[in-house]
Amino acid sequence: MRALQVSDFATPPRLDDIAMPDPGDGQVLIRIAACGLNFADMLMARGTYQDTPPLPFTLGMELAGTVARLGDGVTGLSVGQRVAVNAGHGGLAEAGVFPAAAAQPIPDAMPFEDAAAFMVAYGTSHLGLVRRARLKRGERMVVLGAAGGVGLTAVEVGAALGAEIVAVARGAAKLEIAQAAGAHHLIDSGTEGDLRDRLKALGGVDVIYDAVGGALTEQALRAARPEGRLLVVGFASGDFPTLRANHLMVKNVDVVGFYWGGYKGFAPEVLSDSLAEVMDWYTAGKLRPHISRTFPLAQADEALEFLRSRKSTGKVVVTM
């Protein structure tokens, strides 16, 4: 079978032919139909992600496909069942072996492309906003990078929770997509000056959803209302923001770290409950993944470059 493999961190990932794996105890073999790309995949290819597996490994954090074979001791799943998996790696391949406990059944009406684009982005935004940021109905939230993979889902989820959403993105086209997802206010980060002044003009913000980092974070934080919350999701800009502790103290502002994947290790039931809720929202028509482009597996390197170049909005998906 074909798989996009990382053999060392000095050379780009390469599409190789590798042996078809057999499922062990508690595992399932999945014929993969689609794999959603994430910013973390690019970090993993360079060996800089916090959960980079040992070399060699196959890229691809989240995937969807069909159960092809069950390992010993697996119950609750059947051959031919449609599932999505937050695997951490292994999704950019024609097949793969994964823990049965990580396989989430998906509705028959849910396309594999949607399922592969769903778990990480919507799971991150839902759990981050509900559990960590404690977003309340009627509060104002600014989303930095509002047209990106997780940012766009934050707009959708925040709007569904009844918040007033301020979308920050670069360019009119990206802002239009954020508006369609439920944003109430639009700010072009490329042309409209200091973000702090724009947010202050709206009356400040209660929650900052930050998957960008750098100067935008610092500017947004200065527009936080008393008892505001900065939810730290990632650093797509490549820069870590500098936060002034005296500003946090004077306004009683919280800085809340959030790593969605970490819950797999210490509270997996929290992840499961969150994913079940957003899956129900999808079934009810409240959520619709925005996939800007799909690529075949043979062009997986181009798909990663498309994501890296920031040309994408929402998710990029590779199909098998």
Classify residue 272: in a domain, yes or no.
no
Among the three residues 261, 278, 307, which one is the final residue of a domain in this structure?
261
Are 49 and 102 members of one domain? Answer: yes
pLDDT digits (tens, 9 = 90+) for 197-253: 999 999 999 999 999 999 999 999 999 999 999 999 999 888 999 998 998 999 999
Question: Residue 129 belongs to a domain with what CATH number?
Answer: 3.40.50.720
Residue ranges of the chain with per-residue pLDDT less than 50: none
Do residues 113 and 87 make contact, with C-beta atoms less than 8 angstroms apart?
no
The pLDDT of residue 144 is 98
Classify residue 138: in a domain, yes or no.
yes
Classify residue 247: in a domain, yes or no.
yes
Classify residue 279: in a domain, yes or no.
no
The pLDDT of residue 192 is 66
Rounded distance between C-alpha atoms, residue 153 and residue 68, angstroms: 31
Are 256 and 136 members of one domain? Answer: yes
Are 11 and 105 members of one domain? Answer: yes
Which residues does 2 contact at the CB level (< 8 Å), separation at least 6?
Answer: 15, 16, 17, 18, 93, 94, 297
Do residues 16 and 3 make contact, with C-beta atoms less than 8 angstroms apart?
yes
Question: Residue 109 belongs to a domain with what CATH number?
Answer: 3.90.180.10
Are 193 and 293 members of one domain? Answer: no
Among the three residues 218, 244, 261, which one is the final residue of a domain in this structure?
261
Are 141 and 87 members of one domain? Answer: no
- Which residue range(s) make up the domain with 295? 2-118+289-319
Partners of residue 257 on adjacent β-strands: 232
Classify residue 90: in a domain, yes or no.
yes
- The set of long-range contacts for 82-86, using a CB threshold of 8 Å and a minimum separation of 24, is 82/106, 82/108, 82/110, 82/112, 82/115, 83/28, 83/30, 84/115, 84/116, 84/118, 84/119, 85/30, 85/119, 86/61, 86/62, 86/119, 86/120, 86/123, 86/261, 86/264
pLDDT digits (tens, 9 = 90+) for 29-67: 999 999 999 999 999 999 999 899 999 999 999 999 999
Are 113 and 177 members of one domain? Answer: no
Nearest partner of 147 among 194, 203, 209, judged by Cα: 209
Are 191 and 228 members of one domain? Answer: yes
Are 186 and 201 members of one domain? Answer: yes
Are 128 and 113 members of one domain? Answer: no
Are 175 and 229 members of one domain? Answer: yes
Could you give the maximum distance between any two Cα atoms of the chain, in Å? 61
Classify residue 277: in a domain, yes or no.
no
Give the pTM. 0.91
Are 114 and 165 members of one domain? Answer: no
Other CB atoms closer than 10 Å to residue 294's CB: what's the count?
16
User: What average pLDDT is seen over the chain?
Assistant: 95
Q: In terms of DSSP bridges, do strands 185-188 and 103-105 run parallel, antiparallel, or are they unpaired?
A: unpaired
Are 202 and 101 members of one domain? Answer: no
